[in-house]
């Protein structure tokens, strides 16, 4: 033992985990019961700090198989990232069925009220690379894997119910145009560039989606506060073989909420992982996010009378036309154990459906069903990706697939085919999946249905359904994005499409760009201009009326009123909100009661963009100190500019004045602890939108 570890004073340390330094020195770094470090082949490793050499300073030997295995695996740690939806974050949970739906579907998951089905959900952005920021203006993926008793069912959707294109053959063009321009490799995770808007301006079918992506839907406050949609029309099939059309909706229990654009830009700088951290923190705190699964159910009679084709993925069916039936809840209650093994290796596929669910002829869906397997093979390197724990069914499964890279679930014995005369192995079952026997006839053509040609009517309906505040945000988003487009002709083409949507919107965008209003683009089909507004399409009109699940940031200093702080914390807790304290030093502050309190953030690391509402509780000395601090002034000024509710102690007035804040109906002075509940009640409105036109007059 002394020869092996010459500098150890006690042989008892030999059973502990040992760290060997560059000079040969050794240190005990773990308890004596630590497991032995081994190679991937299970071979115990005696020295994980030094490669095998000739002498202390000699060349490394090729025979060092332990180094070879370690560096080989490291060199291949990164699998190809997803072409789209590369930046994602996932969590585990369950789906609970509210009632039996046996009358409309034979899907086992919907047969028994109260039954819980394991689930995994991955949220993502579409255009950005894996290392991009969370709050880019982008569609959010909302993919749900349900591990049912009859196999895995994937609802691979987005937080927007429509899409850019009608036929999957255009998908490569769309994504090529949206991602970095190939000659320069930028811009990253944004569509404010020539290629994207050139594509949109030449593809009128994208105009409805363009209105959606310029809305607040693409800058959500949190994954927890956004809707999800299956996008396509599917079928539900009952035990008798009857078909009912269905569109899938996920409705957040906490309601919808977005940020404003200036806020999004600053959040990305302050915390690029804002959405990831928000979901992680909520689950870790036991504040489990929930969504309800809603179904829009309709039949052929409705499909025939609808103004648009139900197979067109660029269209919705307004909730006012077909109400949403809520049939269950999705709860996320567990974070992943390993991000790579679960969130990165999870493989979703639109064609993963179970008996009782079926497809329609939506050409975008049909193309997705074909494409996804190729994607998984490229990314995960083997057709056996279905055997990875995150992808494997949780019900019994049996097949005759075999071999391939990384095969570890192969048939045993001589039987690897079916039918066989050996009397072993799985067989077909009458309860197995059956496709709906839809009858389709017609010429073999590259074409689309006539109703697919209306590209503007629902875009107009979406726009007129928004509140005045949201309409302004849409206008501002168009102006911002198109101001980054260098080619005037592209800007003009986009605005010419907007003329067909809403002439006032088009004029406002043209004015914002400093250009003349162009003539309307020639429509392929005359737009319907009298579709009624759909209030369900507005975020602000459907505000939750609650501050539950939100976060209150309290800027404090030494001498801050302890009773006032305690009252705010108690009121926030009563409303189901979280509280974070921001102080000049993260080590904490001494409140007026003489007690030292720790802070969550230092003032220059906890800007107000991270919070849904803020309070400023300062002593007189604290206010004098912080009014000299630029980030403290920004804390208040940004909260005011972003239309947030602000509570202040009277001592904080000098900081507000220095930050240029003029108190209004959204700024509340706290006279005492009794005012805390009044302030939290005010916060249930989420934003003081009346302020926004005054602070953004341009």
Question: Residue 614: which of 568, 557, 561, 664 has the closest Cα?
Answer: 568
The yes-or-no answer on residue 158 being catalytic is yes
Task: Parse the chain into domains and list their residue ranges.
Answer: 88-159+220-387, 455-540, 545-695
The dihedral over CA atoms of 228, 230, 232, 236, expressed in degrees to the nearest 10, equals -140
pLDDT at 16 over 70: no
pLDDT at 69: 80
pLDDT tens-digit series, residues 153-172: 999 999 999 999 999 999 99
| H or E element in which residue 464 lies | helix 457-464
Domain 545-695, CATH number (from 3.40.50.300, 3.40.50.880, 2.30.30.100, 3.20.20.70): 3.40.50.880
Whole-angstrom Cα distance, residue 275 to residue 332? 15
Which of 14-28, 359-373, 431-445 tops mean pLDDT? 359-373
Per the DSSP assignment, residues forming a β-bridge with 156 are 143
pLDDT at 402: 86
Whether 645 contacts 577, CB under 8 Å: no
Q: How far is CA 366 from CA 232, 296, 347, 351, in A?
A: 10, 21, 18, 9
Whole-angstrom Cα distance, residue 458 to residue 317? 10
CB burial class (10 A; 0-12, 13-18, 19+) of residue 265? middle
pLDDT at 20 over 80: no
Whether 17 contacts 44, CB under 8 Å: no
265: confidence class by pLDDT, cuts 50, 70, 90: very high
The yes-or-no answer on residue 455 being catalytic is no
Whole-angstrom Cα distance, residue 673 to residue 648? 12
pLDDT at 32: 59
Question: Residue 220: which of 278, 140, 302, 330 has the closest Cα?
Answer: 140
Question: Residue 683: which of 593, 601, 576 has the closest Cα?
Answer: 576
> Over the Cα atoms of the chain, what is R_g?
29
* CA angle, residues 584, 590, 595, in degrees to nearest 5: 150
Three-state secondary structure string covering 233-294:
CEEEECCCCCEEEEEEEEEECCCCCECCHHHHHHHHHHCCCHHHHHHHHHHHCCCCCEEEEE
Rounded to an integer, what is the distance from CA 173 to the centroid of its chain? Answer: 23
Question: Residue 383: which of 400, 397, 401 has the closest Cα?
Answer: 401
Topology given in CATH for the domain delimited by 455-540: Hemocyanin, N-terminal domain (1.20.1370)
pLDDT at 148: 95
Q: CB-based contacts of 72: which residues, under 8 Å, 6+ apart?
A: none
What is the overall mean pLDDT for the chain?
A: 92
pLDDT at 698: 54
Whether 133 contacts 272, CB under 8 Å: yes
Whole-angstrom Cα distance, residue 72 to residue 476? 50
Whole-angstrom Cα distance, residue 123 to residue 104? 29
Three-state secondary structure string covering 124-182:
EECCCCCCCCCCCCCCEEEEEEEEECCEEEEEEEECCCCCCCCCHHHHHHHHHHHCCEC
C-beta neighbour count of 205 within 10 angstroms: 23
Whole-angstrom Cα distance, residue 3 to residue 8? 10
Q: How far is CA 606 from CA 280, 432, 550, 614, in A?
A: 18, 55, 16, 11
pLDDT at 6 over 60: no
C-beta neighbour count of 430 within 10 angstroms: 5
Q: Is 545-695 in the same CATH topology as 88-159+220-387?
A: no
Q: DSSP character for 326? A: E
Percent of the chain residues topping a pLDDT of 70: 95
Q: Of the listed 92, 152, 158, 349, which one is catalytic?
A: 158
The strand pair at 596-597 and 26-28 is best described as unpaired
Domain 88-159+220-387, CATH number (from 3.40.50.150, 2.40.50.90, 2.30.40.10, 2.40.180.10): 2.40.180.10
427: confidence class by pLDDT, cuts 50, 70, 90: confident
pLDDT tens-digit series, residues 184-213: 999 999 999 999 999 999 999 999 999 999
Question: Residue 209: which of 152, 158, 254 has the closest Cα?
Answer: 158
* CA angle, residues 139, 529, 360, in degrees to nearest 5: 50
Question: Residue 139: which of 64, 196, 72, 74 has the closest Cα?
Answer: 196
pLDDT tens-digit series, residues 79-131: 889 999 999 999 999 999 999 999 999 999 999 999 999 999 999 999 999 99
Q: How far is CA 298 from CA 128, 355, 533, in A?
A: 36, 19, 21
pLDDT at 43 over 50: yes
pLDDT tens-digit series, residues 588-645: 999 999 999 999 999 999 999 999 999 999 999 999 999 999 999 999 999 999 999 9
Whether 432 contacts 356, CB under 8 Å: no
pLDDT at 697: 58
Q: At what angle do helices 363-380 and 171-178 cross, to 10 degrees?
A: 60
pLDDT tens-digit series, residues 404-416: 898 888 778 888 8
pLDDT at 438: 87
Q: Of the listed 85, 232, 349, 575, which one is catalytic?
A: 85
- The whole-number average pLDDT for the span 573-599 is 96
The dihedral over CA atoms of 56, 58, 59, 61, expressed in degrees to the nearest 10, equals -60
Q: CB-based contacts of 23: which residues, under 8 Å, 6+ apart?
A: none
Distant-in-sequence contacts of 107-112, Cβ < 8 A, 24+ apart: 107/148, 107/150, 107/153, 107/236, 107/354, 107/355, 107/356, 107/357, 108/148, 108/149, 108/150, 108/354, 108/355, 108/356, 109/146, 109/148, 109/149, 109/150, 109/153, 109/354, 110/327, 110/328, 110/356
Whether 557 contacts 619, CB under 8 Å: yes
12: confidence class by pLDDT, cuts 50, 70, 90: very low
The dihedral over CA atoms of 350, 351, 356, 361, expressed in degrees to the nearest 10, equals 90
Q: Which residue has the tokens 């025979």?
A: 63
The dihedral over CA atoms of 10, 12, 15, 16, expressed in degrees to the nearest 10, equals -60
């Amino acid at each position: 033992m002394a020869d092996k570890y010459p500098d150890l004073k006690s042989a008892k340390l030999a059973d502990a985990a040992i760290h060997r330094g560059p000079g040969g020195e050794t240190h005990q770094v773990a308890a004596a019961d630590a497991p032995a470090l081994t190679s991937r082949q299970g071979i115990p490793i005696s020295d994980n700090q030094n490669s095998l050499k000739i002498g202390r300073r000699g060349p490394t030997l090729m025979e060092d198989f332990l180094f070879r295995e370690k560096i080989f695996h490291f060199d291949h740690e990164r699998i190809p990232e997803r072409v789209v939806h590369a930046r994602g974050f996932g969590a585990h949970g369950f789906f609970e069925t509210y009632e039996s739906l046996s009358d409309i579907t034979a899907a086992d998951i919907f047969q028994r009220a109260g039954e819980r089905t394991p689930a995994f959900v991955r949220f993502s952005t579409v255009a950005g690379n894996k290392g991009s920021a969370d709050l880019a203006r982008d569609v959010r993926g909302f993919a749900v894997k349900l591990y049912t008793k009859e196999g895995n069912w994937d609802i691979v959707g987005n937080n927007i119910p429509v899409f850019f294109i009608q036929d999957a053959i255009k998908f490569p063009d769309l994504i090529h145009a949206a991602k970095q321009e190939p000659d320069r490799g930028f811009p990253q995770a944004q569509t404010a560039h020539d290629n994207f808007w050139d594509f949109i301006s030449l593809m009128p079918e994208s105009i409805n989606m363009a209105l959606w992506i310029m809305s607040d839907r693409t800058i959500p406050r949190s994954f927890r506060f956004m809707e999800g949609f299956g996008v396509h029309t599917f079928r539900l099939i009952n035990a008798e073989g009857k078909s009912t059309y269905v569109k899938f909706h996920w409705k957040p229990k906490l309601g919808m909420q977005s940020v404003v654009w200036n806020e999004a830009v600053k959040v990305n700088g302050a915390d690029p992982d804002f959405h990831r951290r928000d979901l992680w923190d909520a689950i870790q705190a036991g504040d489990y996010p929930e969504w309800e699964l809603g179904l829009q159910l309709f039949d052929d009679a409705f499909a025939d009378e609808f103004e648009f084709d139900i197979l067109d993925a660029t269209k919705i069916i307004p909730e006012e036309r077909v109400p949403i039936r809520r049939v269950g809840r999705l709860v996320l209650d567990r974070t992943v154990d390993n991000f790579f093994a679960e969130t990165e290796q999870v493989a979703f596929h639109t064609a993963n459906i179970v008996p009782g669910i079926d497809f329609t002829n939506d050409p975008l869906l049909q193309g997705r069903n074909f494409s996804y397997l190729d994607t998984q093979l490229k990314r995960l390197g083997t057709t056996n990706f279905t055997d990875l724990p995150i992808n494997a069914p949780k019900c019994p499964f049996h097949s005759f697939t075999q071999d391939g890279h990384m095969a570890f679930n192969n048939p045993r014995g001589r039987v690897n085919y079916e039918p066989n005369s050996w009397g072993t192995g799985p067989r077909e079952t009458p309860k197995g999946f059956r496709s709906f026997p839809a009858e389709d006839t017609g010429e073999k053509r590259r074409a689309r249905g006539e109703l697919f040609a209306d590209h503007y009517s629902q875009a107009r309906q979406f726009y007129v359904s928004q509140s005045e505040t949201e309409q302004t945000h849409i206008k501002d988003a168009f102006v911002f994005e198109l101001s980054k487009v260098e080619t005037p002709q592209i800007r003009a083409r986009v605005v010419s499409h907007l003329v067909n949507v809403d002439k006032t919107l088009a004029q406002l965008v043209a004015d914002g760009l400093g250009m003349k209003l162009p003539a309307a683009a020639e429509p392929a089909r005359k737009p319907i201009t009298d579709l009624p507004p759909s209030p369900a399409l507005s975020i602000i009109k459907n505000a939750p009326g609650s501050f539950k699940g939100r976060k209150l940031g309290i800027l404090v200093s030494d001498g801050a009123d302890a009773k006032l702080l305690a009252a705010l914390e108690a009121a926030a807790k009563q409303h189901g909100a979280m509280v974070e304290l921001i102080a000049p030093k993260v080590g904490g502050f001494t409140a007026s009661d003489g007690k030292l309190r720790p802070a969550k953030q230092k003032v220059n690391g906890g800007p107000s963009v991270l919070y849904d509402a803020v309070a400023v509780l300062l002593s007189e000395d604290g206010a004098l100190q912080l009014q000299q601090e630029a980030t403290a002034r920004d804390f208040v000024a940004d909260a005011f500019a972003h239309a947030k509710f602000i509570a202040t102690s009277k001592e904080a007035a000098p900081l507000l004045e220095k930050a240029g804040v003029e108190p209004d109906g959204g700024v509340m002075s706290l006279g005492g602890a009794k005012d805390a509940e009044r302030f939290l009640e005010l916060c249930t409105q989420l934003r003081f939108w009346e302020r926004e036109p005054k602070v953004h007059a341009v």
